[in-house]
Amino acid sequence: MGSSASAPESPRMKSYKNSILSVGRDTGIDPAIIAAIISRETRAGHFLQADGWNSGHKAFGIMQVHRDNHPRGGKDSEEHMVQAVGLLNELWGITQTVLSLSGGIAAYNCGPGDVSSQEVDQNTEGGDYSSDVVARARWYKKINFF
């Protein structure tokens, strides 16, 4: 992931940095992974409608919690992030017996039933969701964002 692709969201992401660090500390999830999901899902809120929903009104907030999970908190609140990271932790727990964190990240996007141990991203959005999130997390680490 080149720096030019990420540079436009940096000011927005910086506004979430303290919350991301707090949620990461409280949940045990690397803040770079949280930031990477925020980046991939909504480009740090850039792709959200004013009410916090995506254009299809199926997912809410900067981490895109699906409506079936009854999103909590404001669109960019710590409560929202904690809920989303809780879902990620739950999905990672389901997939970690046969898959790595990448499987949990893929399941966050497409659901655990659609993750294959052969090709974790096969059914994800764009066919590259977990690999893209991991690349974004590495970028946040490389620039010492956290």
Q: Which residues are identified as catalytic?
A: 41
CA 130 from chain centre, in angstroms, equals: 9
Give the separation between CA 114 and CA 105, rounded to whole angstroms: 12
Give the separation between CA 17 and CA 35, rounded to whole angstroms: 8
Give the separation between CA 135 and CA 52, rounded to whole angstroms: 26
